[in-house]
């Protein structure tokens, strides 16, 4: 049976607010505000140079789209809004392209550590280290979990039929556009859930999202054939739950995996984590949390 692809609607863009790039959701734009405030100041949420426009039909339906003749200003390597990736066939071509790129466990972990370190610097109001790896990326210097969607800051390339970089997105900006994409994701923990259904173990870390549901998901491949790894996962999740329930401090997850829309849902997305080295919590690895029983403060 052929897989049905979810709708790929542009829902996010960047707003250049006096030099600070702020993520903006289509639901928070009104026609009058667009004409008075946003027109000419919106760009691709992937950090591309392509400018974005807003339109609203008579029936009230809202749309974001690329300005005319700027479809090729989206990043051809990984931006789902590039002109080459329009339509079902184009989207599948981009997914196949991503699947050819392979990263080692060490590359993924180093990238995640670097990403969280930079976010901690940003959170504390210090200057971010200058990045020379990519000249067309957009940085968002806002606070908290408002993070930029940029190429990997580790400078490490993957291997395979083609080379590539890990790209990061905010958990809150995940929608149908990213179904089956491999991405680095950063988000703030909302709650932790795990248990058994018909003898099968399941576990989720739900990330804060005002628009869709976004979950860090641990499939069987994370612990398959390794009983210790399953017990280790349960212990770490318990530590996370206690930390979250007893403390109001921010807990930030950085992870890398394939994003999938949950079957039978319209806006419930899983980030599939298949390896303990593909996730980091407030800068600590799963192994470090398991061994120490401590989750460091994000600051």
pLDDT of residue 128: 33
Give the domain 106-292 fold: OB fold (Dihydrolipoamide Acetyltransferase, E2P) (2.40.50)
Distance in angstroms (rounded) separating the CA atoms of residues 221 and 86 = 32
Q: If pLDDT is split at 50, 70 and 90, which confidence band does 163 have?
A: low
Q: If pLDDT is split at 50, 70 and 90, which confidence band does 286 have?
A: very high
- Model-level pTM? 0.85
pLDDT of residue 253: 97
Q: If pLDDT is split at 50, 70 and 90, which confidence band does 249 have?
A: confident
pLDDT of residue 164: 66
Residue 292 phi/psi, 5° resolution?
A: -100, -25
The total of other beta-carbon atoms located within 10 Å of residue 4's CB is: 9
For the chain, the structural domain boundaries read 12-97, 106-292
Q: What is the pLDDT of residues 215-230, one digit of tens each?
A: 999 999 998 877 678 9
Q: If pLDDT is split at 50, 70 and 90, which confidence band does 246 have?
A: confident
> Does the pLDDT at position 9 exceed 70?
yes
Residue 179 near residue 6 (C-beta atoms within 8 A): yes
């Amino acid at each position: 049976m052929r897989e049905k692809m979810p709708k790929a609607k542009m829902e996010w863009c960047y707003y250049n607010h006096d030099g600070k790039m702020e993520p903006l959701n289509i639901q928070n734009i009104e026609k009058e505000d667009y004409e008075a405030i946003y027109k000419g100041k919106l760009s691709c949420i992937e950090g591309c140079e392509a400018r974005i426009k807003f339109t609203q039909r008579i029936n009230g339906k809202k749309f974001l789209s690329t300005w005319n003749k700027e479809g090729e200003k989206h990043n051809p390597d990984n931006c789902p809004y590039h002109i080459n990736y329009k339509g079902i066939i184009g989207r599948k071509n981009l997914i196949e392209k991503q699947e050819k790129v392979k990263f080692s466990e060490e590359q993924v972990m180093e990238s995640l550590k670097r990403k969280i370190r930079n976010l901690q610097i940003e959170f504390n109001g210090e200057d971010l280290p200058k990045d020379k790896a990519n000249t067309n990326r957009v940085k968002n210097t806002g606070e908290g979990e408002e993070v930029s969607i940029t190429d990997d800051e580790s400078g490490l390339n993957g291997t395979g039929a083609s080379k590539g970089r890990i790209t990061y997105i905010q958990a809150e900006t995940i929608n149908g556009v990213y179904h089956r994409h491999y991405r680095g994701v950063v988000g703030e923990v909302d709650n932790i859930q795990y248990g058994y259904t018909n003898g099968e173990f399941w576990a989720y870390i739900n990330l804060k999202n005002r628009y869709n549901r976004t979950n860090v998901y641990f499939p069987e491949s994370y612990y398959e054939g390794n009983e210790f790894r399953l017990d280790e996962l349960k212990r770490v999740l318990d530590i996370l739950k206690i930390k979250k329930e007893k403390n109001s401090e921010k807990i930030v997850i950085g992870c890398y995996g394939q994003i999938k829309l949950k079957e039978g849902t319209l806006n419930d997305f899983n980030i599939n984590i298949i390896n303990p080295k593909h996730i980091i919590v407030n800068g600590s690895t799963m192994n470090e949390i398991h061994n120490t029983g401590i989750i460091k403060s994000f600051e």
